[in-house]
Structure 1
């Protein structure tokens, strides 16, 4: 995906995000899931395939990564 195409992505962040700006934003484009740091939207972002993203989200739901609010 070229830089101009990245600007057309519809970025969103969780409604559970706080006001501290330490959030990850996601954008869905076909089978790709783009992620970026909300503090630096013009910076680099990572792209995951749908199966990897789904596995990650399920891991969050299952508590496999711990509760970040308790660190």
Structure 2
């Protein structure tokens, strides 16, 4: 198999996984954090910050992967 085609297939699988994580995180992630740490404000704020950081990282990674597939 051509290495170029193999790389595109791997990037495509990575994008599908990233999109699946984004959908899961949007549906359940923030709700679970708010319920789990509703009594501990400090932990709740830290987890929400880390959640947003992970969420933005996933969005940028997905967009970057799509651009790489289109350009190369």
Alignment TM-score, normalising by the size of structure 2: 0.28
* Bigger relative CO (Cα 8 Å, ≥ 6 apart): 2
Q: Flag the structure with larger Rg.
A: 2
Alignment TM-score, normalising by the size of structure 1: 0.28
* Higher-helix-fraction structure: 2
